[in-house]
Amino acid sequence: MGLYRDSGVVLRSHLLGEADKIVTLLTRENGVVRAVAKGVRRTRSRFGARLEPMSHIDLQLHTGRSLDVVTQAETLHAFATDVGGDYARYTAGTAVLETAMRLLPVEREPSPQLYQLLVGGLHALTVTRRDPGLVLDAFGLRALAVAGYGPGFEACTRCGAPGPHTAVALDAGGAVCPQCRPPGAAHVPPETMHLLGVLLSGDWAAAEASEPWARRRASGVVGALLQWHLEAGVRSLRLVERT
Ligand SMILES: [Zn+2]
């Protein structure tokens, strides 16, 4: 492949030895790329700050034997700088990166939708300065949708009976009607179900009109859905390894 260009968001970054840095990026064209940036300490002005987590960069890479090598990096958006000293935004931004990291399938599998979602989420967090908790939950739900887990909070996700419904089943991926409701499904009040729906569809005006208690309940549902699907993913992987 030789030399190639791409744009990406830095998900993780750590120093390797005295002067190098290993970065994990979600790129637009090449999916997850792990690459090494050499001499970041010596040429701190060129690379160091640009390759920090949350940075959105345009970069040039050279295909290497094990890891690709970053040869150029230009900042498209310094999201981490925009966060400033805002701890709630910083924490939410870190959680967004972590969620993206965990939902990503395999290295080099392009996921331009997740890339767009990630850039959009960081933009909403740092530039338009939406509520950090809402940004994180909207990102989680939409990332699940992009990953093919299709959450839904209106019609019953099992039989399609029109909503609104008041229970969520994790294995069904969302709302379930009274007939389909399995034992142990979580009761979700109408206000919370509505909020989950507007977070998924990206209706910020409606999401921001929600009450704090509904946001807390919605966060709990999003966290449980993410947890369930990530663990299910791990389970199916183990099954593949056995067969
Ligand atoms: Zn049903």
pLDDT tens by residue, 116-135: 999 999 999 999 999 999 99
Is residue 90 included in any domain, yes or no?
no
Residue 233 reports pLDDT greater than 80: no
Claim to verify: residue 171 and residue 76 sit in the same structural domain: no
Q: Which residues pair with 25 in a beta bridge?
A: 10, 33
Over range 89-94, report the average pLDDT: 92
Containing structural domain, residue 213: 130-242
Name the least confident of 57-61, 166-170, 232-236. 232-236
**Distance from the alpha carbon of residue 176 to the mean position of ligand 1, in angstroms:** 5
**Distance from the alpha carbon of residue 208 to the mean position of ligand 1, in angstroms:** 29
Count of domains in the chain? Answer: 2
129 neighbors 135 (Cβ within 8 angstroms):
no
**Distance from the alpha carbon of residue 142 to the mean position of ligand 1, in angstroms:** 23
Domain closes at, from 18, 45, 80: 80
Is residue 153 included in any domain, yes or no?
yes
Claim to verify: residue 53 and residue 145 sit in the same structural domain: no
Give, as residue ranges, everything with CB less than 5 Å from ion ligand 1: 156, 158-159, 161, 177, 180
Average pLDDT, the chain: 89
| Confidence at 197, pLDDT banded by 50, 70, 90 | very high
Claim to verify: residue 69 and residue 159 sit in the same structural domain: no
CA distances to 45, 119, 126 from 204, in Å: 38, 17, 15
**Distance from the alpha carbon of residue 178 to the mean position of ligand 1, in angstroms:** 7
Residue 93 reports pLDDT greater than 80: yes
Q: What percent of the chain has a predicted confidence (pLDDT) above 90?
A: 67
Claim to verify: residue 146 and residue 232 sit in the same structural domain: yes
